[in-house]
Amino acid sequence: MSTPRRLILATRNQHKVTELRAILGAAGLNVELVGADAYPEVPDVAETGVTFAENALLKAHALARATGLPAVADDSGLCVDVLNGAPGIFSARWSGRHGDDRANLELLLAQLSDIAPEHRAAHFACAAALALPDGTERVVEGRLLGTLRTAPAGSNGFGYDPILQPLGETRTCAELTPDEKNAISHRGKAFRALAEVVGELLG
């Protein structure tokens, strides 16, 4: 078998690396996936885009330029219909403090406290990008449609998982097992679509 092509995922979250590595493996791709931790000298990239796709491309291109290797990146968040798609790209810092899951969730629930169940539609969105050192780029997207509960339920997952109930489910994302969630999640869908792109561009 030929030597696998090295591919970098622009994250220091090992769970994301493991998830995409499994998806690439299931697709039969001869790729060695590593996280950004493998290149500690490369700084994190500011997410200055105004869409998930722009942010994913910013991170992927920066990593590809810095390392001379193909790079992938993703950006995701929760989009609420009655808030015209917000929190969207601001999902991780909705409360003003980046990554404070509890504060973000509590603020969103407070903002939606008087919204009737039939108007609580929302979806998780994920854009995943592949960038090559020569500037070639591709972006794919995945969505998980659902409705928002009025109170959190479940202890799995993170972020807004405890309040999003996927369509056709009686449980929230945080009440699903990791395998159940990965099978339907926005990131799982985007990463599986990205695996096809990786196969097409990297062979």
Residues with catalytic function: 75
Non-local CB neighbours of 200 within 8 Å, separated by 6+ positions: none
Non-local CB neighbours of 41 within 8 Å, separated by 6+ positions: none
Altogether, the residues listed in the chain come to a count of: 203
Task: Give 36: exposed, middle or buried? Use CB within 10 Å, 0-12, 13-18, 19+.
Answer: buried
